[in-house]
């Protein structure tokens, strides 16, 4: 349901330059739960735009259903030109500086 999606920065606003803050390639559309998990480094993306779940996330029934079940799944990407896709540079930043390894 689109009304429940939120625009999430890949490279956090606090770490981004003014132009990076406004770049569409620094954004993902996520639901509230996955937005918070992404911001806190509990999930990230790999170079193939697949979801990676941090080993810090306990394997409880709720976490299995709402986080771990998405591990390895590719996100939906905009159709057409790859220049409209989330930037791998920003994803690498998230993986190196935000994601809980």
pTM for this model (two decimals): 0.94
Per residue in 6-27, pLDDT tens?
999 999 999 999 999 999 999 9
In whole numbers, what is the pLDDT of the chain averaged over residues?
A: 97
Q: Residue by residue, what is the 3-state secondary structure of the chain?
A: CHHHEEEEECCCHHHCCHHHHHCHHHEEEEEHHHHHHHHCCCEEECCCCEEEECCCCCCCHHHHHHCHHHCCCECCCCCCCHHHCCCHHHHHHHHHHCCCC
**Higher model confidence: residue 82 or residue 26?**
26
Percent of residues, the chain, with pLDDT higher than 90: 91
Alpha-carbon torsion angle 55, 12, 37, 68, nearest 10: -50
């Amino acid at each position: 349901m689109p009304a429940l999606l939120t625009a999430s920065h890949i490279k956090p606003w606090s770490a981004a330059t003014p132009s990076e803050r406004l770049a569409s390639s620094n954004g993902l559309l996520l639901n509230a739960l996955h937005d918070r998990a992404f911001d806190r480094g509990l999930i990230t993306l790999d170079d193939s735009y697949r979801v990676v779940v941090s080993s810090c996330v306990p394997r409880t029934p709720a976490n299995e259903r709402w986080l771990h079940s998405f591990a390895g799944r590719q996100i939906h990407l905009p159709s057409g030109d790859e220049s409209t896709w989330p930037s791998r540079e920003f994803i690498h930043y998230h993986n190196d500086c935000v994601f809980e390894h």
